[in-house]
């Protein structure tokens, strides 16, 4: 994943629902000609598979918190 995509995901993760909905509306309007049906499927490479295995084995990757708790922990 590129650094830009990682920053986008990070920003969306800590957004409130109203802001996230605004970003989603922008995406839908900007990229209306694209759909899940025409996204190219790519098989994971060796590095991807290793990363997925590490995630599956790491219990910290299975913990989820609410957006409000994340904002609180980030001091926002």
| Per-residue pLDDT tens over the stretch 17-52 | 999 999 989 988 888 777 777 778 889 899 999 988
Q: Is residue 38 part of a domain?
A: no
Domain extent at residue 64: 3-33+43-73
Residue 53 counted as domain residue: yes
pTM: 0.41
- The model's confidence at residue 74, banded by pLDDT at 50, 70 and 90, is confident
Whether 7 is in a domain gets the answer yes
- Within-domain flag for 66: yes
Residue 68: inside a domain, yes or no? yes
Where residue 4 falls (left for φ over 0; alpha for ψ -120 to 50; beta otherwise) is alpha
Asked if the structure places residue 47 within a domain, the reply is yes
Task: Name the domain count of the chain.
Answer: 1
Interatomic CA distance for residues 24 and 19, integer angstroms = 9
- Structural domain contains residue 9: yes
Q: CB–CB of 16/69 below 8 Å?
A: no
**Per-residue tokens: 20:** 């996230």
Mean per-residue pLDDT of the chain: 85
Please indicate, yes or no, if residue 20 is contained in any of the structural domains: yes
């Amino acid at each position: 994943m590129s650094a830009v995509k990682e920053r986008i995901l990070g920003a969306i993760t800590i957004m409130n629902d109203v802001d996230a909905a605004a970003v989603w509306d922008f995406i839908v309007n900007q990229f209306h000609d694209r759909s899940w049906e025409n996204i190219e499927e790519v098989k994971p490479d060796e590095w991807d598979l290793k990363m997925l295995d590490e995630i599956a084995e790491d219990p910290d990757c299975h913990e989820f918190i609410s957006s409000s708790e994340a904002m609180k922990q980030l001091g926002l």
